[in-house]
Amino acid sequence: MPELITFWREIDAAYMYITLVIIVVYLLIRPVVNWVVLTRTTKLLNYIVSSLLILVLFLSGIVLTTIFDRVLLATVMHCLALFGFFLTVIHIGQQFFRKKRKRV
């Protein structure tokens, strides 16, 4: 039983650390992506997105085929999904309030 409690404490800490890293990376990369979109350099944006996808697939393959813990990969995926969900909710909320202001 104490092993299970220790396991859950480690998972909770991992969620906090991974979510913090995701937020920091998002805040650091956002200006670069905005610049790429504003300058309409779609080739650079395609390169960045495809490189990120290849990197994620490559690292996922490494994690799944070696002795790394699969729980860590699941934790990262959960954090990314939650972060994406909250970004979507914020974006929809902003769009809703912008349309509401235009009507008034």
Locate the domains of the chain by residue range: 1-39, 41-103
Closest-CA residue to 70 (of 81, 85, 59, 82): 59
pLDDT of residue 19: 84
Distant-in-sequence, close-in-space partners of 83: CB < 8 Å, separation ≥ 6: 19, 22, 23, 26
Secondary structure of residue 67 in the 3-state scheme = coil
Whole-angstrom distance, CA of residue 98 vs CA of residue 104: 10
Q: 22-64: per-residue pLDDT in tens?
A: 888 888 888 888 888 888 777 777 777 777 777 777 777 766 6
pLDDT of residue 82: 86
pLDDT of residue 6: 62
| Residue 70 scores a pLDDT above 70 | no
- How much is the average pLDDT of 87-97? 85
